[in-house]
Amino acid sequence: MPVQVPVGGEEAAIEVASVGEQRTFDFDIRDHLQLGHDLDCIDFDTAADVSGSKFVYLKRAAALLELALVNYAMQKVVSKGFIPMMTPDLVRESVLEKCGFQPRGTETQVYSVQDSPLCLTGTAEVPLGAMYMDKILAEEQLPIKMAGFGHCFRTEAGAGGSASRGLYRVHQFSKVEMFVVCTPEQSEALLEDLANLEKEMFTELGLHFKILDMPSGDLGAPAYRKYDIEAWMPGAQRYGEISSASNCTDYQSRRLNIRYRPKATDAADAAPNNDSKQKAKKVPTEFVHTLNATACAVPRMIVAILENFQQADGSVIIPEGLRPYMGNMSVITAP
């Protein structure tokens, strides 16, 4: 993958990999909303009465599919050395700000609790990063790799249009998020590892997708470098983002005050004319680097699976990798 970050807006993104091919259909394609209605597994209408627009009930096979996706993703990342975590859904406003999010303002994506310093998180990245706030770690502890399951809440202020229909953009959803704390020397290689792990998972699930090296104008405040993964969504006849991986270098660690102390042997080698033990005591701390990546954003994965694996009779084939987590169910049919 290229090292230089592309300069420009979203149109300057560089495609660094493409996996699989667009499926050819010999019948009229249904989008996930039609499939969800016909299979009686996605209900926006009732959720709108209960909670408002952009909320959803997942029922029957869709509910099982969410649980299967979460379990598949968590088992996969744990097998790669990530520590499984269940994270708080409410965090302090100050923590959100330190992670690079804006909890206030007309365009905020954050839900705040009235008369409280707490906010609902939009990603498990926030509570995972804050675990090590105001701590000094030993270099030997790094990298620390965590995978958090959390519920995500987003106002989606300013979002609209056909590209945001249905499950693609909702106010509440589940996600498995990877988060890494490491030394500055480790972060570039770890970004590649995260992107490759995402690639491995989505390939196993049989999706057609592309990996984009995102340009400077499309990076959020914390990110120094970011890869987006966009899957083909036949119902919309376009690619849609299902995952990303970002290297935030020391943006978050400086605000969260997460440091590490280099190994004493490294300091002694750097100054051989000084007493090594005395020098080891004076080794200054440095800020860690942090990275985050999405293992599974459930709603968009459901969109991609329903639309890509639909059949002429309206049923949907379940990817083989998910079947063990769905009681070995192989196909979703109408009840």
Catalytic site residue from 30, 255, 259, 300: 300
Buried b (16+ CB within 10 A) or exposed e, 210-247: bbbbbbeebeeebbbbbbbbbbbbbbbeebbebbbbbb
CB 330 within 8 A of CB 317: yes
Catalytic site residue from 30, 154, 255, 259: 154
| 169 in catalytic set | yes
| 243 in catalytic set | no
Catalytic site residue from 243, 244, 246, 253: 244
The DSSP secondary structure of 70-133, one letter per residue, reads: HHHHHHHHHHTTPEEEE--SEEEHHHHHHTT---SSTT----B-TTSSEEE-S-THHHHHHTTT
Catalytic site residue from 169, 225, 255, 259: 169
Name the token pair of 315: 């049923």
| 255 in catalytic set | no
| 244 in catalytic set | yes
Catalytic site residue from 93, 139, 188, 241: 241
Residue in 81, 178, 84, 165 with CA at minimum distance from that of residue 129: 178
| 154 in catalytic set | yes
Positions marked active-site? 154, 169, 241, 244, 300
